[in-house]
Chain A
Amino acid sequence: DQQVKQNSPSLSVQEGRISILNCDYTNSMFDYFLWYKKYPAEGPTFLISISSIKDKNEDGRFTVFLNKSAKHLSLHIVPSQPGDSAVYFCAATDFGNEKLTFGTGTRLTIIP
């Protein structure tokens, strides 16, 4: 039972354009969501998060949108840069729970 789903295994975007990565979840108890970025041979690194009391959180080039009714979140990167090429994982938890439930990841490739 995949509670966090990233249905696009890969995405290619031209440098300078917007990258949109999508994530869906099924567990209505989830109320805190995170995006992690992973380069090869490195551990995942935290990128941005959002609480369910918000529908948007922005940090520089990165914005996360949350649609609670659709149980859907997305990560927008604009403008996309070559260094953004990595695997992006969506993760979710319910506040107070130490477990993060991860999606299967989306490999983003930025084309120069």
Chain B
Amino acid sequence: GAGVSQTPSNKVTEKGKYVELRCDPISGHTALYWYRQSLGQGPEFLIYFQGTGAADDSGLPNDRFFAVRPEGSVSTLKIQRTERGDSAVYLCASSLQGTGANVLTFGAGSRLTVL
């Protein structure tokens, strides 16, 4: 596609529920990233995929968070047993090569609100 597409744009859920956030990167971009932006903060790294594999998941806050990219394109971020502190905008980005200095193209984000 022309840009990075994220769905849903907004998600409201109750504490304890399971949530999936989807990212469709730019066609041909092999590197895909998830970031989280809490209110008043800058984006915070969660996980990076090169192709189908998670090359760096050191930013995932705990084992309630998991992400997959089974075919090397679309990625899903999964959050189990959501907590109010998970409320944030979840940003997905992609880049062509993923060599550390590449410019990331971000999607508009999925705003998650946990009540």
**Which residues of A approach B to under 8 Å, CB–CB?**
4, 6, 32, 34, 36, 41-46, 49, 51, 89, 91, 93-105
Residues from chain A with Cβ under 8 Å of B106 in the complex: 36, 43-45
Number of A-B contacts (CB under 8 A): 64
Docked-complex contact A98 and B55, CB < 8 angstroms: yes
Q: Which of B43, B56, B58, B105 contacts A102 (CB 8 A)?
A: B43
Contact residue range for chain B? 20 to 34
Q: Which of B42, B58, B93, B100 contacts A104 (CB 8 A)?
A: B42
Q: Is there a chain A Cβ closer than 8 Å to B91's Cβ?
A: yes
B26 → A minimal CB distance (Å): 12
In the assembled complex, the Cα of A22 lies from the Cα of B99 at a distance in Å of 26
Can you name 22 A-B pairs with beta carbons within 8 Å?
A: A4-B42, A41-B108, A42-B108, A43-B105, A43-B107, A44-B91, A44-B106, A45-B106, A46-B103, A46-B104, A46-B105, A93-B100, A95-B101, A96-B99, A97-B100, A98-B55, A99-B56, A99-B58, A100-B45, A102-B35, A102-B44, A104-B40
Closest 3 CB pairs of A and B: A43-B106, A102-B42, A46-B103
In the assembled complex, the Cα of A44 lies from the Cα of B108 at a distance in Å of 8
In the assembled complex, the Cα of A4 lies from the Cα of B44 at a distance in Å of 11
A17 → B minimal CB distance (Å): 26
Q: Which of A6, A95, A98 contacts B56 (CB 8 A)?
A: A98
- Which of A4, A6, A51, A105 is packed against the most chain B CB atoms within 10 Å? A105
Docked-complex contact A99 and B59, CB < 8 angstroms: yes
Docked-complex contact B103 and A98, CB < 8 angstroms: no
Which residues of B from 74 to 115 have beta carbons under 8 Å from A?
91, 93, 98-101, 103-109
Q: Is there a chain A Cβ closer than 8 Å to B4's Cβ?
A: yes
Residues from chain B with Cβ under 8 Å of A6 in the complex: 42
Residues from chain B with Cβ under 8 Å of A34 in the complex: 103
- Closest chain B residue, CB of each to CB of A43: B106
Residues from chain A with Cβ under 8 Å of B42 in the complex: 4, 6, 89, 91, 102-105
Residues from chain A with Cβ under 8 Å of B59 in the complex: 99
